[in-house]
Structure 1
Amino acid sequence: MHAQVDIAVQAAARSGQAPTWDIGTETLLWTDPPAGEVHRYRPGHTNATMTLQQQTGGAKPRSRGGLVLHLQEGVALFDAHGEQRTWLVYWAREGMTAGATTIDRTGRMWATTMREDESGDGWLARVNPDGSAGVIIKDLKAGLGLAISPDDSRFYIADAGTSRIEILDFDVEAGLMGNRRTLCEVGGQPSGLAVDTEGTLWTAVRDKGELHRYAPDGELVGTIPLPVQRPAGLCFGGRDLRDLYITTTRDGLPSPTGTDGTVLSLHAPAEGLRTYAFTG
């Protein structure tokens, strides 16, 4: 696949993660966990930064205003000014950190947590709007990508620790899933997942500096090389949901370049799925 890749945000993120398009404000949310930062980028304008006291794996919009944050120690609600924090779920454990997050059509959050060294014992949790939570999967190594199919019947997990994208049958109304199996072997470390309206999956391969696109049956149907060494996350955005945003990393690179740590963008061949707000 050929695509023009541009720099959307001229940042120098230590580890740009978890891009999310906020439909309500038409802005891009993204995080830099080692720096404890949450960013909000308004295309063509500014990139505002909110600095917190701990690593922030993901930031998602709330239907009531403000954000829900997947932090190193759990899940918390922040008001619209980013000043008042209310813990929703607190699960702090030594050596554990936040992984990926997604919000389903009902407004429920799904979040992974993993060991900082990605050695195992990670889990996928369901976090309901009322704050009740439960562990659904207990044996993830590095669950760095979550996504749901256009018809809500499939739940996808990208595990960088096993180099696989897994698939489960999903009941979105009940918040249940099962029949876990491998969709495809990535041949690298998948980091982040996004799904378009055609049902194809996109993932950043962080140890190869490229994007992969997979058909619903797991067949690799496209590869896009990127001008960075370590892409870390991706999402669809823009008014028509045809802009694909990719966050990138500088930490751990022996010779980072001027593009490492930026947020990239490209025009996708298909429209992305709309994102949902957390209803808690």
Structure 2
Amino acid sequence: MTDRPEVAVAAGATLGEGPVWDPAARRLLWVDILSAEVHAFDPSAGADDVVRRTGRHVGAVRPRAGGGLVVNLRDGVGLYEPDGAFRWLAERPEEGVRGNDAAVGPDGAFWAGTMRYDEGEGGGRLRRVHPDGRVEDVLDAVTISNGLGWSPDQRFMYYIDTPTGRVDVFDCEPGTFEPRNRRPFAHVPPPGSPDGLTVDADGCVWVAVWGGGRVVRHTPSGRVDRIVEIPAERTTACAFGGTDLRDLYVTTASIGTPSGTPDAGSLFVVPDAGQGLASPAFPG
């Protein structure tokens, strides 16, 4: 294992976010939220391409089981077909609100978070969008709905509402995966605030720290056992990728950083950082 990050793509992203490994295409998907771009990075070729220009801010992307993409957009959750055709799965426009981080859960639903552009307290939600388009509000009155993930045995869900400064954990109802009994899992001390997260095969929770230039791994008990320093202050999210899911990819943002910060907005990779879990494709 190593804790030495490398620049995978000197992207200069305004607000890079949401990395996820697409095993069918052997590529890493990620978004630049404020540039309304979906990117795909091919590690074997060292090439990064903009594969979709969404025309509206895009908070997260995930691959679909039959090809194409599901995206968490400013006005709701949409689907791209493999040929690029777009349709809404769940259009939910709210004035001053956009989609943020999202993930496909063990139930096959797309768990999609929102936030206000002005980051107003209680202005965000976490929604569960089913493949048939049904929408359930899981959490109301959150502020910046951010990272979420599930334990390897699917008994626990981890969730970040960034201004709380912590990662929370829920018990998952067997069969339905309804989250219950919310409680603090780990506090993230300054500098910075918790942003995106990923869960590894050992059940450890990796947290990207916005404004802290680091990714922190917490054991299943919540204890910090590793800190990976990232040479870009606005670290946003992390995910394991590569054919064996052993490389940790980290997105960053250039927005709000001092001019001349060379690696701000880059996509980083930490080779052989650990063992990740496969992220399910969206069945819709």
Deviation at 1:4, TM superposition (A): 1.2
Cα deviation for residue 2 of structure 1 reads 6.2
Could you list the per-position Cα deviations for residues 189-216 of structure 1 after superposition, in whole angstroms to 9, with x for gaps in the alignment?
A: 1111011111000011111111111011
- Structure 1 residue 201 corresponds to structure 2 residue 205: yes
Please state how far the C-alpha of 1:268 moved relative to its aligned partner.
Answer: 4.3
8 Å contact kept, 2:246–2:274:
yes
What pairs up with 1:22-101 in 2 under 5 angstroms?
Answer: 22-45=22-45, 46-49=47-50, 50-82=52-84, 84-101=85-102
Q: 1:44, CA displacement in angstroms? A: 3.2
Cα RMSD of the aligned pairs, angstroms, is: 1.4
CA distance in 1, matches of 2:75, 2:3: 39
Query: How many Å apart are 1:117 and its aligned residue?
Result: 2.3
Name the CA shift for 1:114/1:172 in 2 (closer, same or farther; >3 Å).
farther
**Cross-structure match for 2:109:** 108
Contact 2:17 2:251 in 1 (8 A): yes
**Which residue in the other structure is 2:281 paired with?**
277
Kept in 2: contact 1:105–1:172 (CA 8 A): no
Q: CA deviation at 1:220?
A: 1.3
Q: Which residue of 2 aligns with 1:146?
A: 148
Indicate which of 126, 146, 161 corresponds to 2:128.
126
TM, length-normalised to structure 2: 0.95
Shift of 1:174: 1.1
For structure 2, the residue ranges without an aligned partner over 5 or more in a row are none
Does structure 1 conserve the Cα–Cα contact (< 8 Å) formed by 2:157 and 2:171? yes
* TM-score normalised by L of structure 1: 0.96
Q: How does 1:101-250 map to 2 (within 5 A)?
A: 101-120=102-121, 121-171=123-173, 173-187=175-189, 188-250=192-254
- Secondary structure in 1 aligned to 2:164? coil
Residue matched to 1:3: 3
Aligned residue identity for 2:64: R
Listed one character per residue, the Cα deviations across residues 60-110 of structure 1 (whole Å, up to 9, x for unaligned) are: 10011100111010001111132x111111111111111111112332111
**Alpha-carbon distance in structure 1 between the residues aligned to 2:186 and 2:4:** 27
Q: Deviations over 1:31-50 (max 9, x none)?
A: 00111100011113221102
Q: Counterpart of 1:78 in structure 2: which amino acid?
A: Y
Distance 1:87 1:235 in 2: 26
C-alpha distance after superposition, 1:104-130 (max 9, x if no partner): 233211111111122222111111111
Q: Which amino acid aligns with 2:106?
A: R
Write the letter of the residue equivalent to 1:98: G
Distance 1:200 1:173 in 2: 23
Partner of 2:269: 265
- Aligned residues between the structures: 279
3-state secondary structure, aligned to 1:167: strand
| 2:183 partner letter | R
Amino acid at match of 1:235: A
Shift of 1:152: 0.4
Runs of 4+ in 1 over 4 A off after TM superposition: none
> Alpha carbons of 1:151 and 1:14: their partners in 2 closer, same or farther (altered >3 Å)?
same
SS across alignment from 2:34: helix
- 1:172 Cα deviation after fit: 5.9
